Amino acid sequence: MIEKELVIIGAGPAGLSAAIEASKANVDVLLIDENQKAGGQLFKQIHKFFGSSAHYSGVRGIDIGKELIQKCEDLGVEIWLDSVVIGVFPNKQIAVEKKGKGLKTIRAKKIIIATGASEKVINFEGWTLPGVMGAGAAQTMTNVHRILPGKKVLMIGTGNVGLIVSYQLIQAGAEIVGLVDTASKVSGYEVHSAKIEREGVPLYLDHTIFKAQGTKEKGVTGAVIVEVNKHFQPIKGTEKEIDVDVVAIAAGLKPLSELANMANCKKTYISKLGGWVPLHNENMESTEKGIYVVGDTTGVEEANTALEEGRLAGVDVAAKLKKLSNSESENIKKQINKRLKDLRLGPFGEDRLKAKKKLIKEYNKYIKAQRPVNDYNTGPKAVIECNQEIPCNPCESACKFGAITIGEPITNQPKLDEEKCIGCGLCLHKCPGLAIFLVDKNYDNKNSTVSFPYEFSDLPQEGEMVEALNRKGEYLCEAKVLKIKKLESFDKTPIVTILVPKKYADQARNLSPIGAD
C-alpha cells in the first residue's frame, strides 16, 4: 500500500491551488485526476478572469491553468492523470484505477476532495436528440477539441455560463440564434450579456424551451420556445419555432460530492450552492476529521473562489501536519479569508456568502450534536458558548497556543481548535461575557469536572459540597468543589472547579451554596 501525507482528488483550480500551498510547506502531496491533463475547467475558459490581481484578474483561464500546473511541477507535486478514484474508505484509504497500472491503494494522512461540479439538465420533448447538450459540453468541444458543435445554436439559460459560452461560440464561428430564460431579466453579469447583445443576439426572457425538433438520425433540426406566466407555466398560443441544429443547456451546475458521500461526510441541501453539499468548517474540513472539501464540490461558485478555498485547505493541512507554525498558518488564512470575503461582496456574492455561513453553522451544529460524552481524551478542554457576533477578542490573545481564533472582523464568533487546546484555562477569566468554561469529561470513570468564573462574594471553599446549576440557574445535582484558583492577574475573577456526574458535564455551568434561596 502506498503511504502519502496528503492526497488531493481533482486537479482543477481548487485542487491545484491546494497542492501548491501544501507543497510550499513541504507536505508530501499526491494529486489525482481522471483526465488526460490537469487544470479542470480552466482549459475551457479562454475568457479573462474578474477579481483582483490576487485572483488573476485580466488573465485568461487557460493561462492560469498553465501557471498553476507549472508551479506544481516546480514544487515536485506528484500528479497521476488518467487515474480514476473509485472509492474513499475508512482510515483514509483510497482506491485508484490508474491507466496502464491497474488498481492502486493509498493510505493518506489527509485527503482533499476537489471533484468539482456537473451540469444540470432540464427535460423537454426531444431533449435526448443528438445535438441537445450541456453548455459545458459545447464549450469543451469548441475550446478544447476545436470542434464546433453546430452552426446555429439556441442557448437555454442566461447565467454567466450561458452568456460566456454563447460569446465563445460566436468567436468560433457559430450563430447564436437566441438565449432563452424563464426569468424576467438576465441572471448573469450585464457586461457578459452586453457583449452578446452587441452581436445582435436576441434574448427571449420570460420564455422556456417547449421542444426540440428532429430525429435520431439527423439530430436537432429546430426548436420551439414559448412564453411563460408568473408561475413559469407555458402560455398557449405564444409558441415560436426557431431554426437550429444545437440546443445548449446552461441550467446551472450541481456539486459532485459522491466521493464525499462515500467517505461519510455529512451534507445539507442549499439551493444557492447548487443542491446537496458536504458540510465543512471555516478551514474547509468536513465532518470526517482529516477530509477536506473544496471548490464546486462544496458549493458552486466562481473559479477564483475555488482557488482560494483550495489554498485555505492546503494551508490548514500543512498546519495540522506540523509543517507550518500556528502563527504562520493563521496569518496566511487571514489573508485568504479576506480575499474570499471580497469575492462574495455585492449583489452576486451576498447570497453565496450567506449560504457559506449557513454551511459552516450547520457543520458546527452537527459536530456539537454528535460529540460523545467521552470525546475528550486528553484532559480538560475549553468550551466556548459565545454565540453572537459581538465585537470582542480578548480570548484570542489570552490563548498562548493558538487554539482560539477570531481574526477579522472582530465580530467573528470565536473558534476553538481542540487539538491545540491544552486546558490551561487562561481564557476563562479574560472573557468579559464569562462565556468560556473548562470541561474534563474523563476526570474518572464516573465523574467530570467543570470550571467557570465565579464573581460573587459567597465564594465556596475547596472540598465544600454545593448545588450545580444549569445555564438557566436550575438545580442539576450536588457537586463537590475541587479547586478554587485566585490570582492577582485574574482581576478579581476566581475560577471554580466542581466535580459532577458525567451526565451533567455538558449542563453544569454555575453553582449555589446548598440550601440557598
Say yes or no: 113 and 259 in one domain: yes
Kindly tell me if the per-residue pLDDT of 58 is higher than 60. Answer: yes
Average of per-residue pLDDT across 272-291: 94
Q: Find the helix or strand (DSSP H, E) in which 93 lies.
A: strand 93-98
Phi, psi of 481 (to 5 degrees): -80, 115
Average of per-residue pLDDT across 130-143: 95
pLDDT tens digits, one per residue of 407-416: 888 989 899 9
Domain harbouring 360, CATH code: 3.50.50.60
Instruction: State which of 368, 403, 432 marks the end of a domain.
Output: 368
Say yes or no: 178 and 281 in one domain: no
pLDDT tens digits, one per residue of 6-41: 999 999 999 999 999 999 999 999 999 999 999 988
Say yes or no: 462 and 364 in one domain: no
Say yes or no: 308 and 395 in one domain: no
Predicted local confidence at residue 420, as pLDDT: 86
CB 259 within 8 A of CB 85: yes
How crowded is the C-beta side of 257, counted as CA atoms within 13 Å? 30
pLDDT tens digits, one per residue of 119-136: 999 999 999 999 999 999
Say yes or no: 506 and 475 in one domain: yes
Say yes or no: 415 and 462 in one domain: yes
Say yes or no: 197 and 260 in one domain: no
Kindly tell me if the per-residue pLDDT of 368 is higher than 80. Answer: no
Predicted local confidence at residue 353, as pLDDT: 86
Predicted local confidence at residue 51, as pLDDT: 67
Containing structural domain, residue 481: 374-513
pLDDT tens digits, one per residue of 223-264: 999 999 999 999 999 999 999 999 999 999 999 999 999 999
The number of domains in the chain is 3
Instruction: State which of 368, 396, 419 marks the end of a domain.
Output: 368
Say yes or no: 400 and 462 in one domain: yes
Strands 510-513 and 465-469: antiparallel
Q: What is the DSSP letter of 430?
A: H
Q: How many CB atoms lie within 10 A of CB 140?
A: 18
Say yes or no: 228 and 322 in one domain: no
Instruction: State which of 192, 217, 251 marks the end of a domain.
Output: 251
Say yes or no: 87 and 101 in one domain: yes
Predicted local confidence at residue 279, as pLDDT: 96
| Mean pLDDT of the chain, nearest integer | 92
Kindly tell me if the per-residue pLDDT of 376 is higher than 50. Answer: no
Among 277, 400, 282, 256, CA closest to 340:
282
In this prediction, residue 388 has a pLDDT band, given cuts at 50, 70 and 90, of confident
Say yes or no: 355 and 385 in one domain: no
Predicted local confidence at residue 347, as pLDDT: 75
Say yes or no: 142 and 221 in one domain: yes
Predicted local confidence at residue 313, as pLDDT: 97
Largest Cα span, the chain: 91
